[in-house]
A = this chain, B = another copy of it.
């Protein structure tokens, strides 16, 4: 199993009145990490028109403060079905603290209909698939 590592930078505008990164912004970090993973897998162009996020969950483990250092986000695929797959993430602070764990379920679509995951995408996803 290969976990892809990507880095995301915080901004002052990610902070809320409590002075830490707002919980909603954690999801923006996941989106950015996901895009960068697809770019690493060289499948972004194929992917952007055919997959839709249908579910997302996140567990917040530790508050995040501002830093000019990047976050580390680990991304991997936890399961691959016929028309959908699940991606998992861990967000780590610049000090290595585990700040959140999350999961997204994506479905491949052709217009309004779920369709089997295209072979090229399936191969790419399998390269980062969690093996028990």
* Residues of chain A having any CB pair with chain B under 8 Å: 8-9, 11-13, 15-19, 22-24, 27-28, 31-32, 35-36, 39, 48, 52-60, 63, 68
Contacts and interface: CB of A to CB of B under 8 A. Distances in A.
Contacts of A22: 13, 31
Q: Which 10 A-B pairs have the closest CB atoms?
A: A57-B57, A9-B9, A24-B27, A17-B19, A11-B32, A15-B17, A12-B35, A24-B28, A23-B53, A55-B59
**Copies of this polypeptide in the complex:** 4
Nearest to A36: B68
Given A16-B16, A16-B17, A17-B18, 13 more contacts: A8-B11, A11-B32, A12-B16, A17-B19, A23-B27, A23-B31, A24-B24, A55-B57, A55-B58, A56-B57, A56-B58, A57-B57, A57-B58
Contact of A27 (B8, B18, B27, B32): B27
Contacts of A24: 13, 24, 27-28, 31
Residues of A contacting B: mostly: mixed
Contacts of A36: 68
A32 B60 contact: no
Contact of A16 (B13, B39, B55, B63): B13
